[in-house]
Amino acid sequence: MSTRIDRNPRTNVGATQKQEPASTAAKSTSGNSVAERSLLKGAAVDAFLGAPLTQRALASLGNPTAAANQVAATPAPVLSREEEAAARKALENATNREDPSYITEWLKAHPDPAQQAAFMDMLFEYGAPAGNLLDKAGKLRPEDQKLLSKAVDAAYRSGALTLDELTEAVGSPGNGSWPGETHETLANIIAGTGNPELINAYVERELEIMTAGNAEDPARAVAIATALAGLPPAELQKSLERHPDIVPLLLKNLDDPIVMGGGSALGKLLDAASAIQPPTEQSLQVFMESISYLGQNSDSRAAAARFFQRNADAILSAVDDASGSIGSQGAGKLSEFFTRTLFTEPGFEGQEAFHAFVTGKLSEMQKTLETQAQANPPSQETQRLARAMGSLVGAIEGGFLLAVEELDKRNEAVEGLVGLLFKLKELLPSSKLPGAGKLQDLTIDQIEKWVVDALKEHPDDPKDAIPFHRLFGEQISNPLLRSIYDAARLTSLENRELGLND
């Protein structure tokens, strides 16, 4: 729900306090306003219901018979006068009591899409107060919020709700929208429609206000990220292309100390970007630039881990150089990513699966290198893979070092490394930990003792204490591929320090 800073009372949308915005003045009619508005909108409700073309539509296409019959064809009101009065009473109760459950109860009692569209038409004719009311729906059950999304979508597709009315509901600085309003619930409702036209119009309005020179409000980044996450993958790609600077702007604002819910909104955006397949330059930008903003939020960490699992090859290709090694900026970013997802608290849902994915990915790369065990020289493709594998291992070790050296998270880092080593037992059964024996014969307590003892022996240089890379290097039989792997791993560690300082 929105975080309020200014507690000034807002204008209600009830019948006794109705305000007519200038852009909707033309909609005001006498008599049955809902029925007459539907006539003004060209009987769009008929098209929404899947009925044949109306007499009005046929006449507009030049059908003379339809034109003659149009005057006589007067559609029945969508809502009777009694129903309309009851609808307005429900809206009045909802706003006077700041309780959108009156809206959802009315919608449940009137499941007909045309009637629901007429009801939402009445709600949105009041502009910003309508958006404020919907933004309070966070206290409702998820199924009721979905009902609101469905009704908004139905109203738009029927023609009862216009994009102008939607953007008016977002409000403006000082008019229905206070600084510090995240609009997260309103954004969730719009995102829940899955309708690209509604979502894009909503995003554009929030973005317009957030970037206004004298009215920037970082909290709106929560709404923008939440709404963007509701776009289908192809539409999200288009939106990212249309706004090439939106990712750094959103990330900066989501990280603002006054913003509540920024981490969860980032998680939603990461998951949505991950659904863009194959991954694109723009979707990978969302991932790479978000790493520095994962912080202590479990939702964003979990989403970043899922993104890596789904797009690991594309990520590694995006950060490597012509030789296959990871460049300095990429090494720094990935080291920080592994710090957040492998070596520091808090944990997150799916972390065990992520650990298994990382060790499995390294084992898969090592096994591919073994297909060239006797080759002299090995293929260029496997040489490139050896560099990629060494760089990845170096980035993982860099993540461990960052936790130990810079973040002073030694205990957490140890626990994370033990978890990785323990998962290697079945993947690399012949590997040995120096002074401890075969990895496959060790218990998790023995592995933890080995890691802790190694750190104690080398407190000032933990990179020499934990030869994580040797577990994989020992499995590379081809001497040239092993030397390439070792060199790439060291380069990645060095580059990681440069990348973290960029």
pLDDT confidence of residue 330 = 87
pLDDT confidence of residue 326 = 85
pLDDT (mean) for 5-30: 40
Which residues make beta-bridge pairs with 433?
Answer: 437
Largest CA distance in the chain: 97
Higher-confidence residue: 34 or 127? 127
**Which residue reads 């059908």 in tokens?**
63
Nearest of 412, 404, 378 to residue 482 by alpha carbon: 378
pLDDT at 150 over 90: yes
pLDDT confidence of residue 431 = 83
160 pLDDT tier (thresholds 50, 70, 90): very high
pLDDT at 244 over 50: yes
pLDDT (mean) for 412-420: 90
Per-residue b/e over 299-333, b at no fewer than 16 CB within 10 Å?
bbbbbbbbbbbbbeebbbebbbeeebbbbbbbbbb
**Looking at this protein, which amino acid is placed at residue 110?**
H
pLDDT (mean) for 459-477: 76
CA distance linking residue 227 with residue 215, whole number of Å: 21
Spatial CB neighbours of 151, under 8 Å, sequence gap ≥ 6: 107, 116, 117, 119, 120
CA distance linking residue 238 with residue 282, whole number of Å: 9
pLDDT at 20 over 50: no
pLDDT confidence of residue 214 = 66
User: What tens digit of pLDDT does each residue of 27-44 get?
Assistant: 433 334 444 444 444 433
pLDDT (mean) for 360-388: 94
Query: Any idea which of 61-65, 183-187, 243-247, 276-280 has the lowest mean pLDDT?
Result: 61-65
Structure tokens at 304: 């970043």
48 pLDDT tier (thresholds 50, 70, 90): very low
47 pLDDT tier (thresholds 50, 70, 90): very low
Query: Any idea which of 94-98, 434-438, 481-485 has the lowest mean pLDDT?
Result: 434-438
Query: Any idea which of 23-37, 257-271, 435-449, 471-485 has the lowest mean pLDDT?
Result: 23-37
pLDDT (mean) for 375-387: 94
Nearest of 447, 460, 339 to residue 402 by alpha carbon: 339
